Structure 1
Amino acid sequence: MNVPASPADNKPNGRIRQRNEEVILAAAAKEFARHGYKGTSISAIAVRAKLPKANLHYYFTNKLGLYIALMENVLLDWNRTFDALSVDDDPAEALARYIHAKMEFSRKQPLASRIFAMEVISGGAYLSQYFGEDYRAWFRGRAAVFDAWIAAGKMDAIDPVHLIFLLWGSTQHYADYAGQIGRLLGTKRLSRTDFDAATTTLTHIILKGCGLKPPAQ
């Protein structure tokens, strides 16, 4: 389907637009993960998406806009489960829920996680605007919830900042280093069973380390 390039009165409806954007973002993730930002072209993404190049420019102004959209989606998906974190939550249930959500993201969207990791490792130039004061305030807000739980005696006195870093690193590891893990496990691709086992193990270790009892499955 050829999408018109500019007339506002002939824009695709919401469902078509969403589907096309998802196709483009999925194709972009494969290209960026394989070739990096500099080595990826809009033309290559269009070929992989099986859409005319003009369609990509209709939805995303340029390659940078598409790349940043991918980064935004990653951050939104990762942070969503922690956005509503409250001092009234049960720490064990909240942490178990977060670990499960992050592991599901690693299972379903490993390429997005790897692109994010590559961007951060290379200096994070395209993410600098997102790691500003607003993001730091969001981060401090999550840490404050852990501090409140500790003060209330709900969990052991651990450093909330490094706990969050541990949560991020351990769950994203299964996407970013899937190739290494697969070779060690003797499989080309991690299965749902592999992810379930990893989720259970991480939940047990992290919660026990916080003085918490893992919730019943």
Structure 2
Amino acid sequence: MNKQSSGIQIRHREETRAQIQQAAERVFADYGYVGASFSRIAAEAGLPKSNIVYYYQTKEKLYRNVVENIFNVWREAADVLSPERDPMNALGDYIETKLELARTRPHGSKVWANEIIQRAPVVQDYLEGELRQWTDDRIAVIEYWIAQKQIRPVSARHLLYAIWATTQHYADFKHQIRTLNDDLELTNQQWEDTKRSLREILLEGVKL
């Protein structure tokens, strides 16, 4: 097998995995872990069930992959929270990015929310390890800004919780927001207005 053929096969596998991931995210969001099945995911992906089994073997493995993927996307969004940055700009960018992810990855957010509501029966170990350490690291950055008198002395932990709650609301309660918006999806302009409003509201609480 030449390098070109090998590269094509690798790209095909990556594309298939991504296709399965996207379908699984939607199915787990709509049916939960218990209600989801490889058959439903295969139908959603437009692939044979055997493809799902080949790449992921078990439903739990695929589910954990979906949960970890959305967490990693959120973690990358928080890379802007670094001590050398201006805190108002960094926090504002984080709020806007989290809202954009609520817009573009609502199913992933719902999968995460459903898992937490059920007291994390599948990924509790992930919460106690990855999530705890990541949260502590972000808290340390915010507390550094406070110590440097760059923002008001607020609870760093509750500031993070407030950002998560307000931004993820637009994904987890998408149907409610649509209903209150005359049964219409938010327009591009409404999303931009939402980003600006939440940025102003949340940052007002930490501004010196």
TM-score, normalised via structure 2 length: 0.91
Residue pairs, 1:44-59, within 5 angstroms: 44-59=40-55
Report whether the alignment pairs 1:62 with 2:58.
yes
Q: Secondary structure at the match of 2:125?
A: coil
**Among candidates 106, 112, 118, match of residue 122 of structure 1:** 118
Deviations 1:34-66 (A, max 9, x none): 211111110111112111111111211211111
Report whether the alignment pairs 1:90 with 2:56.
no
Letter in 2 for 1:179: H
Q: Distance in 1 between matches of 2:19 and 2:137?
A: 35
**Among candidates 161, 170, 173, match of residue 169 of structure 2:** 173
Q: CA deviation at 1:133?
A: 3.9
Q: CA deviation at 1:83?
A: 3.7
**Among candidates 111, 134, 158, match of residue 162 of structure 1:** 158
Q: CA deviation at 1:191?
A: 2.5
Q: CA deviation at 1:12?
A: 6.8
Report whether the alignment pairs 1:81 with 2:77.
yes
Partner of 1:72: 68
Contact (CA 8 Å) 1:103, 1:172: kept in 2 or not?
yes
Q: CA deviation at 1:103?
A: 0.7
Q: CA deviation at 1:150?
A: 0.9
Q: Distance in 1 between matches of 2:80 and 2:91?
A: 12
Q: CA deviation at 1:19?
A: 1.2
TM-score, normalised via structure 1 length: 0.88
Report whether the alignment pairs 1:200 with 2:181.
no
**Among candidates 18, 21, 32, match of residue 22 of structure 1:** 18
Stretch moving more, 168-177 or 194-203: 194-203
Contact (CA 8 Å) 1:178, 1:190: kept in 2 or not?
no
Q: Distance in 2 between matches of 1:192 and 1:117?
A: 25
Q: Which runs of 5+ in 1 are unaligned?
A: 1-9, 213-217
Stretch moving more, 96-105 or 133-142: 133-142
Letter in 1 for 2:168: Q
Q: Which runs of 5+ in 2 are unaligned?
A: 1-5
Stretch moving more, 48-57 or 190-199: 190-199
Q: Distance in 1 between matches of 2:64 and 2:44?
A: 19
Stretch moving more, 189-198 or 114-123: 189-198
Aligned residue pairs, count: 204
Deviations 1:178-213 (A, max 9, x none): 11111111133223222211111010011111116x
Stretch moving more, 126-135 or 162-171: 126-135
Report whether the alignment pairs 1:107 with 2:103.
yes
Q: CA deviation at 1:134?
A: 4.4
Letter in 2 for 1:53: K
Report whether the alignment pairs 1:41 with 2:37.
yes
Relative to structure 1, the CA distance from residue 21 to residue 64 in structure 2 (aligned partners, 3 Å threshold; closer, same or farther) is: same
Q: Distance in 1 between matches of 2:11 and 2:159?
A: 39
Contact (CA 8 Å) 1:87, 1:149: kept in 2 or not?
yes
Q: Distance in 1 between matches of 2:185 and 2:56?
A: 32
Letter in 1 for 2:167: T
Letter in 2 for 1:190: L
Displacement over 3 Å in runs of 4+: none
Q: CA deviation at 1:85?
A: 2.9
